[in-house]
Structure 1
Amino acid sequence: MPAPKDDLSLLIAAARAAGEVACGFAGPTAKSWDKPDNAGPVTEADLAVNDLLLSQLRGARPDYGWLSEETEDNSDRLRHDRVFIIDPIDGTRSFVAGENTWAHSLAVAEAGEVTAAVVYLPLRDMLYAACRGGGATLNGTPIRSSSRRELAEATVLAARPALVAERWHGGEPPVFKRSYRPSLAYRMALVADASFDAMITLRRTWEWDIAAGTLIVSEAGGTCSTAKGAPLRFNNADPRVEGIVAGGPAIQAALIDALA
């Protein structure tokens, strides 16, 4: 089988091609509609990018499984040793609004662990990449996660629902500086390059939102786990994770300790 660095080269090329396709659509004027069961919006750009990635990635690796937000899931992927985990456009609402904080999130997982990953923001010209054991980079330059140790001084990316009092010991969240970005993949990338000390989401989260970011954070020296501190595993039969906390090691551990 190809080495993780060979898979990474494939993911980088595919991500850049995806960016060209997505940028060919004008976000606010791209056709969009809501998915069933309040699953959020989807646009013609999401589907076009998904078609491109499916063709390029599985064309190059036909023996890999496939899990994507924009492809109907089935159990076939569970029979493969390796699987692509893809979010064609993470942050579709931002894309529709004409903003520049949406991303392509591409990963390969083997035996439950991510081995190669890319998060690419074409409108910001930011390409985060990592392969297992090879470190993490932003536009080819190595990055490291935060070394901050004091939670009260930390900047944490979190949506307001994560601050609900009953989710925390003592009935209220600890003191930290909160900020927000709509794309989960981008949030994790910003943790990997130490723009923020940590990120947290306590809702059930789809694997395609976090698979690439998990490896990028880990290879940048950070720590990722479920909201209960358990290791993250991928290509599950139900491709959802019970929340995620990612950050520099000290701040990530402090957030896990503070959660009820």
Structure 2
Amino acid sequence: MLEPDLALLVQAARQSGDIAKRYFRQDPDVTHKPHGAGPVTAADLAVNAMLENFLQAERPDYGWLSEETEDNAARLDTPRQFIIDPIDGTRAFIDGSKDWAHSLAVTENGIPVAAAIYLPMRDMMFAAAIGSGATLNDGPIRTSDPQIDDATILGAKPNFDARFWTNGALPPIKRAFRSSLAYRLCLAADGSFDGMITLRPSWEWDIAAGALIVQEAGATISDQHGAPLRFNNTYPQVPGVLAAGPRLHGDLLARLEPSGPKA
């Protein structure tokens, strides 16, 4: 059942791209979610509606968790779940940047088993099924694993504040940034960058697909405390994300404040 699920996600991701491209750089309607939860566009909602109708028709027994659908606890009792971000990187989409993605995963027992992340404006399809490796446009990809002194890590600037690091000592790394968390995970997976980090609580829909892709590419991925990521939680967040090759992941984790930032 895993390979059919992956094929279904890839098909749905491409259909998402067809919809989103019709809105891109066309000044789509933008509203702002309550409590500072960020913007949402007409494109996010149109993609979400298509995905919910299409995927749930194909797999009616799967649970559903999406950024743009009101959560329903019924997903907790389903055998598998779709975890979806219709457009990850909505701010980039609004700004006219190409660095936004459709992020689609299927999870089982808390673990992603199939994933597709598609960047339609770059025609980049990242995909993975558990135990089968990760691909970019059907070609295999592999993460890097350099010494920390040679590493470039994707992350927002606040993650590199001294208070997050043991004794206030920032690791000797270079920093880069992309708007989409899903894309950051993919860029770590294909070796374009050496890892990614976010020390904020992270929504499952932002990371479920990328977590499988980077893991199948050979990286180690955990929360910011080093614990394995689990999905389909009652409250669908995980406490930060750290992904890198095994050696680099271990070195970065050892330098993080184990209980969070100093006051």
* Range class of TM-score, shorter chain: over 0.9
Counterpart for residue 49 of structure 2: 51
Counterpart for residue 191 of structure 1: 188
Q: What is the CA distance between 1:172 and its match in structure 2? A: 2.6
Alignment counterpart, residue 166 of structure 1, candidates 146, 163, 187? 163
Alignment counterpart, residue 253 of structure 1, candidates 250, 253, 259? 250
Q: What is the CA distance between 1:27 and its match in structure 2? A: 3.4
Counterpart for residue 261 of structure 2: none
Provide the identity percentage: 55
Deviates more, 1:162-171 or 1:221-230: 162-171
SS in structure 2 of the partner of residue 227 of structure 1: coil
Counterpart for residue 200 of structure 2: 203
Q: What is the CA distance between 1:147 and its match in structure 2? A: 2.7
State how 1:123-142 maps to structure 2 within 5 Å: 123-142=121-140
Counterpart for residue 155 of structure 1: 152
Q: Is the 8 A contact 2:62 2:81 kept in 1?
A: yes
Following TM superposition, where does structure 1 have runs of at least 4 consecutive aligned residues deviating by more than 6 angstroms? none
Q: Is the 8 A contact 2:220 2:244 kept in 1?
A: yes
Q: Deviations over 1:100-128 (max 9, x none)?
A: 00000000000000000011000001000
Aligned length: 257
Counterpart for residue 115 of structure 1: 113
Q: Deviations over 1:59-81 (max 9, x none)?
A: 10000000000000121100101
Distance 1:172 1:93 in 2: 32
Distance 2:196 2:19 in 1: 29
Counterpart for residue 178 of structure 1: 175
Q: Is the 8 A contact 2:145 2:244 kept in 1?
A: no
Counterpart for residue 227 of structure 2: 230
Q: Deviations over 1:218-245 (max 9, x none)?
A: 1111110000000000000010010000
What's the TM-score once normalised by structure 2's chain length? Answer: 0.96
Q: Deviations over 1:165-212 (max 9, x none)?
A: 111111132110100001000000000000011100000100000000
Tell me whether 1:244 sits opposite 2:221 in the alignment: no
Amino acid across the alignment from 2:113: T
Note the residue ranges of structure 1 that are not aligned, 5 or more in a row: none
Distance 2:12 2:18 in 1: 10
Alignment counterpart, residue 29 of structure 2, candidates 28, 31, 35? 31
Amino acid across the alignment from 2:158: P
Tell me whether 1:213 sits opposite 2:210 in the alignment: yes
Distance 1:64 1:226 in 2: 26
Q: Deviations over 1:134-180 (max 9, x none)?
A: 110000000001031x1111010011110121111111321101000
Alignment counterpart, residue 76 of structure 1, candidates 64, 74, 80? 74
Counterpart for residue 66 of structure 1: 64
Amino acid across the alignment from 1:8: L
Distance 1:113 1:127 in 2: 21
Query: What's the Cα RMSD here?
Result: 0.7
SS in structure 2 of the partner of residue 236 of structure 1: coil
Q: Is the 8 A contact 2:47 2:86 kept in 1?
A: yes
Distance 1:167 1:11 in 2: 36
Amino acid across the alignment from 2:207: I
Q: What is the CA distance between 1:33 and its match in structure 2? A: 1.0
Distance 2:250 2:26 in 1: 40
Q: Is the 8 A contact 2:223 2:241 kept in 1?
A: yes
Q: What is the CA distance between 1:28 and its match in structure 2? A: 5.2
Deviates more, 1:175-184 or 1:20-29: 20-29
